Amino acid sequence: MDTTLRADRRYPLTPHVLPNGLRVLVAPAHDAEVVAVTVAYDVGSRSEPRGFSGFAHLFEHLMFQGSVNLPRGAHAHYVQSCGGVFNGTTHLDYTEYYQVLPSSGLEHAVFLEADRMRAPALTAASLANQIDVVAEEITGAIISRPYGGFPWLQLAPLVFDTFENAHNGYGAIDELRTATTDQAQAFFSRYYAPGNAVLCLAGDVSAERGIELAERYFADIPGRPVPSRPVIAEPDLTAERRSSFVDPLAPLPVFASAWRVPDPAADLRGYLAYLVLCLLLTDTALGRLTRRLVRRDRWVSSVDCSLGLTGEVFGVRDPTCLVLTASPAPGGPGTDAILHAIDEETARLAAEGPEPAELTAATRTISAQLVRTLDGLAGRARHLAVFELQHGGAELINELGPLARAVTSADVQAAAATLRPQRRATVELHPGAAR
């Protein structure tokens, strides 16, 4: 199979805007009788009010608690009775709700998303219940789990200074317990307006049918003013930052370093150069750090590089970071020596650039990853909606493969040259009981 041709596959797309401002995307694909229905709202943890860390995450839970028309559990019942699956996720810059189901259930799914966009049931009982659910989630996923929330929760306040970028978006239990239904209603009215959302229908649906369903179920939802995006820009680091903490539950040490990278929306090609750089540093087959630190010197048991503090490569706005994590091996030289070796390898890439075969392998790997992501209906619908929200055009996903393969050696050299110690924030996690 020619993965280059597959990566250049262009997914058909029909955009439409309703009078209330809702953006509609229909991406037909009749390979199977399956559809994905996604609604993405332009609100995430970087939009939540100071003093209510985790409110966007809490609100995602509230959106599953029924509406003025349907009781709690009805959404899940209808989707699952069709043989489908559903979920919702909160990110730094957006919140999404999706379902994947047989195309015979498409109209049900469109109705359900419109129903909760119109009027979710924001009651005192559902609020109290979901605060408890989120508190249990935080306890299970972070407080009571080794390496819980690492490195996002520890790196964010080190590499960033503003509340919007630095706070715990997963949620602070004590702050969430002060939330009221009035605050929940105000959050809904502000951020869950039709004009602040994108509806994407992907799969076994024609453009005409998708637009007709969107018009039928969403058009009568009253439009509301779209909120301005939060001001989240802040200066880059000019001096290295370091911190450390003890995780009583962790059996082994780990550290993570972050460097700021270009704005994914304003400079996508420059941003993609860092994605290539990540592969050249830590990919299993290609990674220079993997070969040196894991296989040759055995200073670390693992090393990994990714874009985004939360692993969100394309669904994040500026400012964002390249994040490198490493697990020092027992008896090894320690973090300082490992960081020095990382600096040596990035400086070598900045000076010499990658070998042509390395670069080709890295860009082809990215193309293959995009094929896997976008050929799945759920991933395609999600990326279409996110690119519409954050890049101003969903059709840009059709350019990702060619853009990745257009990254040059000079682009990689320029990216590697920015990974300097004075632009770096590093947090170390030490195992053992807290003292």
Q: How far apart are CA 227 and CA 369, in angstroms?
A: 34
pLDDT at 5: 41
Hey, which residues does 14 pair with through a beta bridge? 26
Residue 385 in tokens: 């909606």
- Per-residue b or e along 27-52, where b marks 16 or more CB atoms closer than 10 Å to that residue's CB: bbbeeeebbbbbbbbbbbbbbbeeeb
CATH superfamily of 241-431: Metalloenzyme, LuxS/M16 peptidase-like (3.30.830.10)
Hey, which residues does 85 pair with through a beta bridge? 100
pLDDT at 49: 86
pLDDT at 414: 98
CB burial of residue 302 (10 Å; 0-12, 13-18, 19+): middle
What three-state secondary structure class fits 276?
helix
**Average pLDDT value over all residues in the chain:** 94
Cis peptide before 120 (omega within 30 of 0): no
Extended beta strands in 262-341, E state? 300-307, 320-328
Q: Strand 23-28: give its sheet, edge to edge.
A: 14-17, 23-28, 197-203, 34-41, 95-102, 85-90
Angle at alpha carbon of residue 368, lines to 364 and 372, rounded to 5°: 170
Q: How far apart are CA 119 and CA 381, in angstroms?
A: 24
Residue 423 in tokens: 């632009």
Domain parsing of the chain, residue ranges: 12-218, 241-431
Residue ranges for the chain with pLDDT beneath 50: 1-5, 7, 434-435
pLDDT at 433: 64
Hey, which residues does 326 pair with through a beta bridge? 255, 303
pLDDT in tens, 100-159: 999 999 999 999 999 999 999 999 999 999 999 999 999 998 989 999 999 999 999 999
Q: Where are the alpha helices (DSSP H) in 139-180?
A: 152-159, 163-166, 173-176
Q: Which residues contact 223 (CB under 8 A, 6 or more apart)?
A: 19, 20, 21, 193, 194, 195
The CATH classification number of 12-218 equals 3.30.830.10
Q: How far apart are CA 252 and CA 268, in angstroms?
A: 37
Q: How far apart are CA 198 and CA 118, in angstroms?
A: 14
Going by C-alpha positions, the residue among 152, 171, 141 that lies closest to residue 429 is 152
pLDDT in tens, 72-112: 999 999 999 999 999 999 999 999 999 999 999 999 999 99
Q: Confirm whether 12-218 and 241-431 share one CATH topology.
A: yes
pLDDT at 8: 65
Q: How far apart are CA 88 and CA 71, in angstroms?
A: 18
- Give the sign of the dihedral formed by CA 406, CA 409, CA 414, CA 417: positive
Extended beta strands in 217-319, E state? 241-247, 254-261, 300-307
Q: Do 11 and 398 touch, CB atoms closer than 8 A?
A: yes
pLDDT in tens, 281-314: 999 888 999 999 999 999 999 999 999 999 889 9
DSSP class of residue 67 equals B
pLDDT at 286: 87
Q: Do 356 and 307 touch, CB atoms closer than 8 A?
A: no
pTM above 0.85, yes or no: yes
Hey, which residues does 425 pair with through a beta bridge? 241, 258
Q: How far apart are CA 141 and CA 158, in angstroms?
A: 21
Strand-strand pairing, 85-90 and 254-261: unpaired
pLDDT at 141: 87
Q: How far apart are CA 378 and CA 38, in angstroms?
A: 8
Q: What are phi and psi of 198, to 5 degrees?
A: -130, 130
Place of tokens 């009982």: 125
